Amino acid sequence: MKPIGLYLHIPYCLHKCGYCDFNSHNINKAEMASYVEALLLEMEQTAQEAQDRRVDTIFFGGGTPTTLPFADLAHILEACRRHFQVDPEAEITCEANPATIPQTDLSQLREAGFNRLSIGVQSFDPNELKRLERVHTVDEAYLTVERARQAGFDNLSLDLMFALPGQTIERWQDNLQKAIDLTPDHISAYNLTIEPDTTFYKQQSQGKLTMPPDDFQRELFEIAIDTLTEAGYEHYEISNYAKPGKQCRHNLNYWTYGEYLGLGAGASSTFKRDRIKNVNLPAEYILLTKELPSAVKDRSTMTPRQRMSETIMLGLRLRKGLNLSRLENQFGINFQEEFGETIKHFKRLELLEIINKQMILTREGLFLADTVILEFFLNPGGEGGDNPELIEDMISM
């Protein structure tokens, strides 16, 4: 039975951070119960299309899933098992904001079947948390990790962010070390980027926010790579590091261009060669789910060229790179004939190398990954460049 990932979007947050361009909205307690009902209804409707699929990974993301009562999260997960063929060994992740955890026992989530927790720490420095407009404290971050371990979570991921305005090398090194000292199983270390339609973008355009120079951002990235790999974490994707056997299986499904179903407001799916996107606003999602067959905003069938371009884009994010033999067999092409000039260009710049039919970004290429990836997507003669929103989604995964 062919595997598939399942993503459930919980769009509510205590506060929308200045850098965030995800589909997130301030908590609306009057709406949240209706949202859960709509999510369960969409699940029931969608599951009929996936009866021939085995769900290997489930990911509750947002927003902040832990703004929902834990009983609701447990109920949604139970419905997943009821409607889909969920593998008994499935990886089941829930994102968590420390500000939603401090007075809460996490054992209810663990007993419900969640076996992986992803905690949005971002920084262990109070001034950096304030600059990022995070609503949790450093103490709450530590407490969340402690309570997660007490609840029996043996697969724990921490998110960190670097290249913040005013961040120093010493502060970033301190953040990394404090994260390592907590012995998480997985660390995601993201370079802060300023996205359109965010508060930070407005501040930057008004001259109220200045990002560090590119060379300094690169230095912080190199520090992350060296520090985390020396601490025993495998650098398996541009922004992700894991202890042996603790890679995020759900995200690996994305990066290896596997199928996945997204449920909830703004959720996307790649399923049976279709790209599917739900409406963003929770209120509209609730209304459409209850009154119409679905809350789908866009649905399109991807051409073979589009699917190949996305396979290349996502595969290059992985440190092991992209297997060209598999790609050629899958799409019936000669990769050298299709992309020979592009490969030659990036090999000459020492951004790309091919070893035993495996195309890999060099260490230098990691720092310019978006440039390399975008060039393959927009390769002359391709059909992938007609959807800027899709390109942005792929690059920022």
Q: Tens digit of pLDDT for each residue in 229-255? A: 999 999 999 999 999 999 999 999 999
Is residue 259 a contact partner of residue 271, using CB atoms and an 8 Å limit?
Answer: yes
Query: Domain spans of the chain?
Result: 2-254, 304-395
Percentage of the chain lying above the pLDDT 70 cut: 95
Residue-wise pLDDT for 21-65, tens only, equals: 899 999 998 999 999 999 999 999 999 889 999 999 999 999 999
Please tell me the predicted confidence (pLDDT) of residue 291.
87
Q: Which residues pair with 96 in a beta bridge?
A: 119
The bridge status of strand 274-278 relative to strand 296-301 is antiparallel
* Token pair for 192: 């802060």
Residue-wise pLDDT for 150-205, tens only, equals: 999 999 999 999 999 999 999 999 999 999 999 999 999 999 999 998 999 999 99
CATH 3.80.30.20 holds for 2-254: yes
Query: Looking at the predicted structure, is the pLDDT value of residue 386 above 60?
Result: no
Q: What is the DSSP string of 66-113?
A: GGS-HHHHHHHHHHHHHHSEEEEEEEEEEEE-GGGSTT--THHHHHHT
Residue scoring higher pLDDT (75 or 105): 75
Query: Looking at the predicted structure, is the pLDDT value of residue 3 above 70?
Result: yes
Query: Looking at the predicted structure, is the pLDDT value of residue 71 above 50?
Result: yes
How far apart CA 161 and CA 163 sit, in angstroms, is: 7
CATH 1.10.10.920 holds for 304-395: yes
Residue-wise pLDDT for 77-102, tens only, equals: 999 999 999 999 999 999 999 999 87
Query: Looking at the predicted structure, is the pLDDT value of residue 109 above 80?
Result: yes
Residue scoring higher pLDDT (272 or 82): 82
Please tell me the predicted confidence (pLDDT) of residue 379.
57
How far apart CA 333 and CA 336 sit, in angstroms, is: 9
Please tell me the predicted confidence (pLDDT) of residue 335.
87
Alpha carbon dihedral 238, 177, 193, 201, in 10-degree steps, equals 170
Q: Is 118 helix (H, G, I), strand (E, B) or coil?
A: strand
Please tell me the predicted confidence (pLDDT) of residue 116.
98
Angle between helices 369-377 and 304-315 (to 10 degrees): 170
Contacts from 246-249 at CB under 8 Å and sequence distance 24+?
Answer: 246/155, 246/185, 246/186, 247/186, 248/91, 248/93, 248/116, 248/157, 248/186, 249/56, 249/57, 249/91
| Average pLDDT across the chain, whole number | 92
Is residue 301 a contact partner of residue 274, using CB atoms and an 8 Å limit?
Answer: yes
Lowest-pLDDT range of 72-76, 180-184, 340-344: 340-344
Query: Looking at the predicted structure, is the pLDDT value of residue 125 above 90?
Result: yes
Lowest-pLDDT range of 102-116, 308-322, 366-380: 366-380
Highest mean pLDDT among 236-245, 292-301, 320-329: 236-245
